[in-house]
Amino acid sequence: MGRKGTGRVDRSDGAAAVLGLESSCDETAAAVVRAGDGAVLAEAVLGQEKEHAPFGGVVPEIAARAHLEHLPRLAERVLREAGLVPADLAGVAATSGPGLIGGLVVGASVGKGIALANGLPFVAVNHLEAHALTATLPGIASPPVAFPYLLLLLSGGHCQCVAVEGVGRYRRLGTTLDDAVGEAFDKSAKLLGLPWPGGPALERLASRGEPGRVPLPRPLLGRPGCDFSWSGLKTAVAQAVARLPGASPEGAKADIAAAFQAAVAEVLADRAAHALAMLPAATALVIAGGVAANAAVRGALSGVAAERGLPLVAPPPRLCTDNAVMVAWAGAQRLRLGLSDPLGHAPRPRWPLEEMAAA
């Protein structure tokens, strides 16, 4: 992908663009984002649902092979759609952790190759930081979100309350003691016989149920702090499903799904309220990650934010799940501060957000 530049872009100004690559789990994605105003010039995402559905979850080896097959051409595609060649870019950003190591190696290697071939800076993006900074993408909130803000990171792999104080400046206020909330959605959906990925399927089923018909626990509700626990709720769902008759009507499963979703929303609202009390200077309540696309969760958290006179900032669903726009934007923010990474930077399957400042 090393070609002569078109001469259209001056890398030194805000019109320069950043290529972002995402391959941390089962989405292969690439995007080109203008560094100055965050304009998305092109983006593409390829899911792998068909490949992983027979196994009921992501198979790391299958995911890595799919990234290797599709990511280089996705990068070429978004650059072509943006009307650019690699030499026009301000830099290349690739997710380098946390995530599945095979996919991270593929994405980082592709990004480093493009950067090396064209003399561009390379940014190893922390996937969690990319989620954390999505709220600052121009156009997401009006007026724009200012630091510090409270981030609820809600995904299949993470469930955290984070004080976002600036690019590279994060304080974890609370986290899960066992499972992530997205995992709880997927496991509960599987118990209900729903297809993978379970979160969207469970939300659709819940829309037809009555949550008050099935009593389920609210783990840690009202407890001090803002930690989470979801394993007990998953167990309660399993017990509720086990009590169903052999030929249970679809409505009974819908009631369990609705009860589960209501319990999650109530707990998240309670934990968010406690976290906001721990961060009195917060300018907004921000949610990110796949579970942030759930309408019931958004509704509950919107009420918490409103009670404190704060906006709830929820990116559009396509930017809540794994995507390359957020990776490109995070890369642009780090480049703006003069931060880049050596081509020898090793991808990290575990990369706590609070380590970013030290890095």
Task: Determine the average pLDDT of the residues in 123-127.
Answer: 97
Domain ranges of the chain: 17-133+320-355, 147-314
Q: Which residues of 345-359 are buried (b: 16+ CB within 10 A; e: fewer)?
A: bebbeebebeebeee
What integer pLDDT is reported at residue 56 of this predicted model?
Answer: 76
Mean pLDDT score, 6-14: 45
CB of 264 within 8 A of CB of 198? no
Per DSSP, 29 falls in state E
pLDDT at 158: 87
pLDDT tens figures, 67-123: 999 999 999 999 999 999 999 999 999 999 999 999 999 999 999 999 999 999 999
Q: Determine the residue type at 255.
A: D
pLDDT tops 50 at residue 206:
yes
- Mean pLDDT on 39-60: 85
- Establish whether domains 17-133+320-355 and 147-314 are of one fold: yes
CATH of range 147-314; options 3.30.420.40, 2.40.30.10, 3.30.70.330, 3.40.50.1970: 3.30.420.40
| pLDDT, tens digit, 9 for 90 and up, residues 295-320 | 999 999 999 999 999 999 999 988 98
Give residue 245's pLDDT band: very low, low, confident or very high (50, 70, 90): confident
pLDDT of residue 7: 37
Q: What is the pLDDT of residue 247?
A: 65
Which pLDDT does position 14 carry in this prediction? Answer: 54
What pLDDT does residue 336 have?
95
* 265, pLDDT greater than 80: yes
What CA–CA distance (Å, rounded) separates 122 from 120? 6
In this predicted structure, the answer to whether residue 148 has a pLDDT above a threshold of 80 is yes
Binding-site sequence positions for Fe cation: 127, 131, 322
Does the pLDDT of residue 11 top 70, yes or no? no
Mean pLDDT of the chain: 92
- Give the three-state DSSP class for 94: strand
CATH code of domain 17-133+320-355: 3.30.420.40
Annotated binding site: 127, 131, 153-157, 186, 199, 203, 294, 322
Q: Which residue in this structure is represented by tokens 């409103």?
A: 306
Annotated binding site for substrate: 153-157, 186, 199, 203, 294
Q: Averaging pLDDT over each range in 48-57, 59-68, 108-117, which range is the top one?
A: 108-117
CB atoms within 10 A of CB 252: 18
Task: Say which DSSP state 6 is in.
Answer: -
Q: Is 350 helix (H, G, I), strand (E, B) or coil?
A: coil
pLDDT per residue as tens digits for the range 166-182: 999 999 999 999 999 99
- Percentage of the chain modeled with pLDDT above 70: 94
